[in-house]
Amino acid sequence: MAGGAPAAAEQHAGVHRPGGPRPQESAAARRMTVTTLRGKHHRGEPISMVTAYDYSSAVHVDSAGVDVVLVGDSAAMVAHGHDNTLPVSLDIMLQHCRAVVRGAPRPLVVGDLPFGSYESSPAQAVESAVRLMKEGGVDAVKMEGGAASRVGAARAIVDAGIAVMGHVGLTPQAISVLGGFRAQGKTVNSALKVVEAALALQDAGCFAVVLECVPAPVAAAATAALQIPTIGIGAGPLCSGQVLVYHDLLGMFQSPDHSKVTPKFCKQFGDVGAVIGKALAEYRQQVEAGSFPGPDHTPYKMSPVGVAVFADALRNIGLDGAAAAAAAAADAGKTEKIVGDGKPHEGDNINNGILSSAGAAV
């Protein structure tokens, strides 16, 4: 297999892996914690946060050097295709968390408490948060809302030794009372509530607060009033950091058949949806034209002797057509050099598709 790094400890001898994940030792050494985040905030360095929901997105977010990866309940919408964040369960969130943790050893990993997993009581909130840590493997949890009961829940979770990121402004789980995904803090009272809720969450021990979809002056006020960092989304530039949803910032949903709209506060930093569409169209075209797979992508071989014996065996069981097809295919693919005498021998290593005694690894 290509790739320079020697096999990691988790690879067992004699088992081929197709280049599965490797531990990223150097990355893990520069691991983000709530302490490193506090340091950034004190130095006035903006904090970057992006959502991820599975292994490959986690790898990408980690590789790009983003500070915090949020396993968001936005998974309900962007991964599962629901219209809002309500349907995703804690069990599903745990699966998303695990996959992300496997892919991102360096950033701080925050797991969202999904709708219905923490609102009944502080005890329920603590239990759910514990599951996210214990079974999900995350470093911290996020919960939405600033009502007194939510603040009480946050406090209980912090008291249980779990770092909590708060979330005020537009809180998508409250879509029912909000009457939709509507920006908040646009009146004086609403704006004050945002600031007060953020302060209360700080008081309860939160290490950061997300401000979602509020006017910039409101976010600025909250950020100034707080000692802990604010992470904004649709809240203007005057927050301590920013967060965006992975799919939105990548322009993932650009297929013409699909009219999912990127929120207007979200800049598209890439056109991944278009790239994907183009690649898939190309694959389809090449398969339908018979040009993929060509010889470059048809690596597994049989020696001419092998093919002849195979064809004989097929004829013996009455499959003459198949025998002819095998012979024709072998003729068509006769561009590879065969190493050695071309005859199969006992104990020959034929790992890489070429019959050889060199035994090259796949």
Partner 1 sequence: MRRSLSLLARQVARRRLLSNVPESTVYGGPRPQESSAARRVTVTTLRGKHRRGEPITVVTAYDYPSAVHVDSAGIDVCLVGDSAAMVVHGHDTTLPITLELMLEHCRAVARGAPRPLLVGDLPFGSYESSAAQAVDSAVRVLKEGGMDAIKLEGGAPSRIAAAKAIVEAGIAVMGHVGLTPQAISVLGGFRPQGKTVDSAVKVVETALALQEAGCFSVVLECVPAPVAAAATSALKIPTIGIGAGPFCSGQVLVYHDLLGMLRHPHHAKVTPKFCKQFGNVGDVINKALSEYKQEVETQTFPGPSHTPYKITPTDVDGFANALQKMGLSDAADAAAAAAQNSEKGGEPNGNC
Residues involved in catalysis: 212
137 vs 160, which CB is nearer to partner 1?
Answer: 137
Query: CB 179 → partner 1: shortest distance, Å?
Result: 5
Instruction: Tell the smallest beta-carbon distance from residue 205 to partner 1 (Å).
Output: 20
Give the range of 118-126, 130-138, 147-155, 208-216 binding partner 1 by CB under 8 A. 208-216
List binders of partner 1 among 278-297 (CB under 8 A).
278-284, 286-288, 290, 292-294, 296-297
198: which 2 tokens? 């953020």
Count of residues binding partner 1 (CB under 8 A)?
166
Q: Does 270 bind partner 1 (CB under 8 A)?
A: yes
How many Cβ atoms sit within 10 Å of the Cβ of residue 355? 22
What does the DSSP 8-state code read for residue 174? G
Nearest to 132 by CA among 143, 145, 121, 122: 143
Mask: binding to partner 1, 226-255, rule CB under 8 A, as x and -?
---xx-x-xxxxxxxxx-x--x-xxxxx-x
Residues 152 to 171 in contact with partner 1, rule: CB under 8 A: 170
Q: What is the CA radius of gyration of the chain?
A: 27
Amino acid at position 202, single letter: Q
Question: Residue 17: what residue type?
Answer: R
Q: Where are the beta strands (DSSP E) in 52-102?
A: 68-71
- By CB atoms closer than 10 A (0-12, 13-18, 19+), residue 183 is middle
Instruction: Give me the least distance between CB of 152 and partner 1, in Å please.
Output: 22
Nearer to partner 1, 5 or 35 (CB): 5
**Which residues ranging from 113 to 132 are in contact with partner 1 (CB under 8 A)?**
none
Residue 71 CA to residue 65 CA, distance in Å, equals: 16
Strands (E), 129-266: 140-142, 164-169, 208-212, 230-233, 241-244
Residue closest to 109 by CA, chosen among 140, 131, 144, 132: 140
Q: Which is nearer to partner 1, 133 or 245 (CB)?
A: 245
Q: Which two tokens stand for residue 13?
A: 């001898």
For partner 1, which is the closer residue by CB, 74 or 128?
Answer: 74
Instruction: At 28, list the tokens.
Output: 């893990």
Binders of partner 1 among residues 295 to 334 (CB under 8 A) are 296-302, 306-307, 309-310, 313-314, 317, 319, 321-330, 332-333
- Residue list 3-32, contact with partner 1 (CB under 8 A): 3, 5, 10-11, 14-22, 24, 27
For partner 1, which is the closer residue by CB, 17 or 149? 17
